[in-house]
Every structure is written in structure tokens, then in C-alpha cells.
Amino acid sequence: MKIIASLTLATVSIMAANLINTAKEVGLEPIPSSKIELYKIIDDSRNPITSKKIELGKKLYFDPRLSKSGIISCNTCHNLGEGGDDGIPAAIGHKWTANPHHLNSPTVYNAVFFEAQFWDGRAKDLEEQAQGPIQAHPEMAATKGHVEKTVNSMPTYVDAFKDAYGKDVKVTFEKITDTIGLFERTLVTPAPYDDYLNGDDNAMTTAQKDGLKTFIDKGCASCHNGISLGKGMNAFNVAAVYKYQNVGDFKGDINAMVKVPTLRNITQTAPYFHNGKIWSLKETIVEMGRVQLGTKISDAEAASIEEFFKALEGRKPVFSIPMLPASTASTPRPDMN
């Protein structure tokens, strides 16, 4: 009996190793378990991450006074208390304006692992991306001058910048958005999937492992790979036309390429697709198989892949909502026009 038990354990161990090796062979990568190794990926030598910068960036991320109306913050569309998005089909911004292209807000969690930002990939990193929504009229509708005047009007903010960057720092729009981007770099959510690929065979359930195998076998990893499970740009409507393609006018970048969204925490980021038209994860999986892979994914296969997605539910950073500096007489007043 001991010999049989030993053989069974050995067989299970070999099967686990084979699945992990297969996953890595198709381009799947875990979030490093070591903080040192993780920071080699998420840090930027141009603006190294420090605890003081993180705390300052967090305050700016949550501060609605950066917007023209004084009521919209980065967290409005990228809610860190939920899936890092807003949970609606198309983003709503200044004066209750819906995104003119009917674009869905991507999650900010794990966005640091993307090769480019925005659905059309027009920003190279989170720091550059942070400048866009603040100035976009359908979003926060602010100007660079408004943001600079707002932050510089509060001595507590000015002192925090000096503490984080040095006494000679100039608090410019770019320095403010760089600090927001730096904070966003730290929004990483390691999951049981990462623990499994990093060597913990018990981190995922049998059903989740079977789902990972289905995910690989059906070809999903051809686009959803890397640490983010979706880092790069890819063609859309490869094998068929997405059934809601006519909703909104988004067609991708100049080459019709679209950023592949992350699958991390996907169980918490409905609705799906660039225009947020599908709420069911199962329906999303089946539609992606039809549109991108030219294959029919059965209900059983979709359920298996969906089970794998549960292993991508990550451990989110724990922090309290920051207490923001008090406005002063020179702080710009809310403008709803």
C-alpha cells in the first residue's frame, strides 16, 4: 500500500510539474513571490518608488479636487474598493457625460504589467496615462493649470512633495501625475494562480487546474499571456466580428490593434469587452472563442475556464482611505460648467 501511495503522489507531482511547465511554455508568468524581484519589474529608475511617494500618490489618486467639478477623482472610475474599475459599460465623467466612444474603464489593478496603456495603447506607461483622464473633458475636465493651482494652494501637499522629492521640487502637473502613476505601480494583486506557478501545488483546486489546462488547450493564452495575462496589443475580430461591434465607434489604434485586457480579477470587473456590452463571464468566454480563435467553446469548456479565472482573484493591497489636506482660500472652487 505504501508503494502504491508513493507512486500516486509521484504521478500527481509529475502532472503538476507538467502543467506548470506547459503554462510557462505558452508565455504565462507569475507575479514574483519575492518583493525584490517584483520591484525589478514595477519600479522605474526615473522615479524610484518610496513609501513617501506612495502615500502622496494615494492622496492625489483619491482627491476629487483635481477635477474641474471637484467631485471626480481617479478612484471614481477605478474604484480600489472593488475591481479597480467602475462596474458600468461606459465611463461616466464631467457633467454626467458618458464616454463618447462608449469605452469601458479598464481596471487599474496590475496595469503596471501592461506594455502600453489605454485601449488603443497610446500611452507608454502609467505616468503618461495619468495625464489623460484628468484633462479629458468627458472625464475630469481639468487643465494643467487647475491641477497645479489646486495642489499648490494647500501647504500640506507642498510640504509632502518636498518631503518625498526634496526641498527644491517644483510641483508641476507632470510631477503630480508622475506621483499618481507611481502609486498605481504598486497596485499589484498576487493570486492563488501565482502561488501555483511559483511552486505551491495546493494553491489551486483540481477544478482550477483543469480550467487552466482548458484555457491553454483552447488557445486563450495566445493573447492572454505574460504576468498580466493580457499585456500587449493585438488584432480584434480575427476570425469573426464581435456581435456588439457597432456599439461605440472604437476601432483600435491606427493599425486596428486593441490592448488585450488583463484577466486578473476578471470575476470582479464586469461588464466585459472594450464597450462593456457583455455582463456574463461565460458568454464572454464563448464570444472570445468565436471572434478571436474561430472555435466553438462548449458550455462545459467555458465553465472550466471560468473556474480557472477564480484562481486569478488576487490579494489586494490593504490601506485606509487617506485623509486629504484642507482646502484654502486660494484653492480653485468647484466648476460644474
Please give the pLDDT value at position 7: 42
- Half-sphere exposure of residue 181: CA atoms within 13 angstroms, side-chain side: 27
Separation of alpha carbons 111 and 105, rounded Å: 12
pLDDT digits (tens, 9 = 90+) for 271-292: 999 999 999 999 999 999 999 9
Separation of alpha carbons 284 and 279, rounded Å: 8
Asked whether the CA dihedral 209, 87, 275, 63 is positive or negative, the reply is negative
Contacts of 16 (CB under 8 A, 6+ apart): 201, 209
Transcribe 279-320 into DSSP letters. --HHHHHHHHIIIII--PPPHHHHHHHHHHHGGG---PPP-P
Is the pLDDT at 174 greater than 80, yes or no? yes
Task: Using CB atoms within 10 Å of the CB of residue 22, give its burial: 0 to 12 exposed, 13 to 18 middle, 19+ buried.
Answer: middle
Q: Give the helix/strand (H/E) hosting 258.
A: strand 257-259
Catalytic machinery residues: 139
**pLDDT band for position 265 (cuts 50, 70, 90):** very high
b/e per residue 147-164 (b: at least 16 CB within 10 A): bbebbbbbeebeebbeeb
CATH topology of domain 38-185: Cytochrome Bc1 Complex; Chain D, domain 2 (1.10.760)
Please give the pLDDT value at position 91: 95
pLDDT digits (tens, 9 = 90+) for 222-252: 999 999 999 899 999 999 999 999 999 999 9
CATH topology of domain 25-34+189-312: Cytochrome Bc1 Complex; Chain D, domain 2 (1.10.760)
Whether the domain at 25-34+189-312 and the domain at 38-185 fall into the same CATH topology: yes
What rounded mean pLDDT belongs to the chain? 95
Is the pLDDT at 332 greater than 90, yes or no? yes
pTM: 0.94
What are the angstrom distances between the C-alpha of 237 and each of 230, 242, 284, 296? 16, 6, 14, 15
The residue ranges of every structural domain in the chain are 25-34+189-312, 38-185
Phi, psi of 192 (to 5 degrees): -55, -35
